[in-house]
Amino acid sequence: MRITRNAGTLFVTGALTLTLAALAYPAMLGIQTTSATSVAVIANPSSGPLTEADRDFVVKVRAAGLWEYPVGQLALQKGTTPAVRTAGQHLVSGHAALDDTSRKVAKTLGITLPNKPSPLQQGFISTLSADSGSKFDSDFANILRITHGQIFSVVAKIRATTENTLVRQLADQANDTVLDHITVMEKTGLVDFNYVIVQETSIPKVPAVNLTPPPPQPGEPEVVLTPPAGGASLPSAGASLPAPGASLPVQPSPTPTVG
């Protein structure tokens, strides 16, 4: 992943506005093919017709969690303000819940899911892993605000068009989660809307190889994003933030388990 600033604009190469191509497993996730997403019906389960776009959406939810969950853990560990740590807590809890739903939906509908994020998404993790201090806080808030802003419209389109009840339920949950994450990023006070909005609407093309999460290998354990210890509930995005210096729990790294 490459982040550059030019004339006051932050360019993050790539996005989470993703489109997949293959039937059993995605060949590509990339914003440049969003408009060409097929509505062809690929299966007719009891939950309703399943289109290519429906299948792709389930994979997008899984792929998003595979990089945003560990980034949320980084925010809990490295965030220098209560607002950044709160945003990290929301990422961890939100994507643990979405991951559980997406894996159940995928199993029911026969959709193959990745166990690792795409090279681009791994780049986001690497960038934020290398950051520290206020630079981490700023990059975290702006990268996550950009990617959530991009995926927000994708969730809405799926919710408006899918005929599959399971995909519809996942889209409802994803819509609430993405809006929550957008809100907590904005509450950090670090989002620069001048370049975030530009980035959301003018994304450079990225090679397909960088946008595709690797397919699971035969016999590879399924990675499960575990919920916070004790199942503690999160405050709403509009709730008051913890007082300065308040600590938030740090979750262990995702442990590969057979699900």
Q: How confident is the model at residue 144 (pLDDT cuts 50, 70, 90)?
A: very high
CA–CA dist 21, 170 (Å, integer): 20
CA–CA dist 88, 237 (Å, integer): 12
9: three-class secondary structure by DSSP: strand
pLDDT at 133 over 60: yes
Burial of 70: CB neighbours in 10 Å, binned 0-12, 13-18, 19+: buried
Q: Kindly report, residue by residue over 220-247, the tens digit of the pLDDT.
A: 999 999 987 754 444 444 433 333 233 3
Distances (CA, A) of 73 to 79, 101, 123, 189: 10, 20, 16, 20
CA–CA dist 210, 221 (Å, integer): 23
Among left, alpha and beta (phi > 0; psi -120 to 50; other), residue 75 is alpha
Q: What is the pLDDT of residue 230?
A: 55
Q: What is the pLDDT of residue 170?
A: 98
pLDDT at 6 over 60: no
Average pLDDT over residues 147-162: 94
Task: Write the DSSP string, 28-50.
Answer: ---GGGGGG----EEE--TT--E
Average pLDDT over residues 129-153: 95
Q: How confident is the model at residue 108 (pLDDT cuts 50, 70, 90)?
A: very high
As a whole number, the mean pLDDT across the chain is: 79
Among the ranges given (29-33, 66-70, 143-147, 217-221), the one the predictor scored with the smallest mean pLDDT: 29-33
Angle between helices 52-78 and 119-130 (to 10 degrees): 10
Q: What is the pLDDT of residue 43?
A: 94
Q: Kindly report, residue by residue over 49-100, the tens digit of the pLDDT.
A: 999 999 999 999 999 999 999 999 999 999 999 999 999 999 999 999 999 9
Residue of 24, 18, 38, 62 lying closest to 212 (CA atoms): 18
Distance of CA 45 to the CA centre of its chain: 26
Q: What is the pLDDT of residue 38?
A: 60
| 57-211 carries CATH number 1.20.120.80 | no
Q: How confident is the model at residue 22 (pLDDT cuts 50, 70, 90)?
A: very low
Q: What is the token pair recorded at 128?
A: 């934020």
CA–CA dist 166, 58 (Å, integer): 10
CA–CA dist 84, 141 (Å, integer): 8
Among the ranges given (22-36, 131-145, 157-171), the one the predictor scored with the smallest mean pLDDT: 22-36
Distances (CA, A) of 251 to 220, 223, 232, 240: 23, 15, 12, 22
**Residue 50 pairs with which residues in a beta bridge?**
43
